[in-house]
Amino acid sequence: MAAYLLDWVNLLGRWVHMITGIAWIGASFYFIWLDNSLEPPKSEADRDKGVSGEVWSVHGGGMYHAQKYQLAPEQMPEHLHWFKWEAYTTWITGMFMLALMYWYGAEIYLIDPGVAELSKPMAIAIGVAVIAIGWIAYNWLCESAVGKRENLMALILLVVLTILAFALCQVFSGRGAYMHFGAMLGTIMVGNVFFVIIPGQKDLVRAKEEGRQPDPIHGIRGKQRSVHNTYFTLPVLFVMISNHYAMTYGHEYNWLILMAITLVGAFIRIYFVARHKGQASVVPLILAFAVLAGIVTLVAPQQTDKLSSTLIGAADISAVHKIVTERCSSCHASVPSQPGFQAPPKGIVFESEQDITRQALVIHQQSVVTRAMPIGNLTGITDEERATIDVWFSSLK
């Protein structure tokens, strides 16, 4: 019953996280587009009121006229909508899911003895520290002299994130490393909203209400952090879905794949941000597709040149069935015996030789090519057993 209830908590948590994430990212993308699409106001009266830009648009059968003020209107409106709860709720639900899956279930999803022997408290402490220190270091960098030189800051961030990705993949399981990398970026994004953007906007409103001149620095800082957030968005979205694709996090060079796809996401956003301004160059897209092609080539399964003669005779379906039963069926059974699993992952069951033969490609991909399964190698599959599966799979071709 506990595992069943945990599944429902997991499902509902993911659902809310997805809904709020769509709301936050959608609003973020819209305002980046809006800011880059503004044109000088046509009306002199609007210019006199402090309007710095405007855009006309059509959507859902209606016409919209959006205007942006240099600072704020002379008279504050009675109703002012704040875009903040989408960000906060996304982070809260995301951290809830991280705690539920990767901290509460650390021995399954976060710790891989084949990578590093960690106790559960130690693994959780490292995860929390990475997320907290990541925000502190990033915020310090933005407020330092480096923060005024965007190109230099981008280079420093790339170097630091690469080192972090490599380090995480040396202590956590591949999927655990990816999730904590994404959680740190997500925390930076919501930190920008909570500690910089919203306080600046609140001070702007207070200044107008108190009849004093608003400090333009809040607008400068808010714009900088909003731009940073839009470049972090696609890498974070990749991390959110990466746990379904073991060929990325399960690869020997998983840290390099993570950073390469992070760059792909940044290149794509560079293109679209420039396109909104009417200054689009295809170079960022070409770079993005070139990097993606390199990743696809890197993670492609390698053909086995030589099969061990000692395994050829032993690698029949009965031998593989024995291995799969001992190493995989505790999770992949109609009624899993592995604690924490109410149902077989993805509905895949290995209970008969027919099941195994039918899922031969999946078994080979996950246990031999990516070595991502058994998850965290909880059941202690050996290299010889993986080789046996490899020989058997090759004989089916």
What are the pLDDT digits (tens) for 316-355? 888 888 998 899 988 998 888 888 787 888 788 898 889 8
Q: How confident is the model at residue 19 (pLDDT cuts 50, 70, 90)?
A: very high
Instruction: Verify that 116 and 240 share a domain, yes or no.
Output: yes
**Cα of 53 vs its chain's centroid, Å:** 34
Clarify whether residues 206 and 339 are in a common domain.
no
Strands (DSSP E) contained in the chain are 51-59, 62-69
- 132 and 210 fall within a common domain: yes
Q: Residue 47 falls within a domain, yes or no?
A: no
Closest CA to 28 of 97, 89, 84, 94: 84
Flag whether pLDDT at 156 surpasses 60.
yes
Cα gap 90→26, rounded to integer Å:
12
Q: Is the pLDDT of residue 314 over 90?
A: no
- Residue ending a domain, among 266, 299, 332, is 299
The whole domain housing 344 covers 309-396
Specify the number of domains making up the chain.
Answer: 2
Of 119-128, 142-151, 222-231, highest mean pLDDT: 119-128
Angle between helices 217-242 and 174-191 (to 10 degrees): 160
pLDDT at 218: 86
Answer yes or no: do 295 and 348 share one domain: no
Does residue 3 sit within a domain? no
Are the beta carbons of 73 and 161 closer than 8 angstroms? no
Q: Are 155 and 205 in contact (CB under 8 A)?
A: no
Residue 302 pLDDT > 80, yes or no? no
Instruction: Note the pLDDT of residue 101.
Output: 92
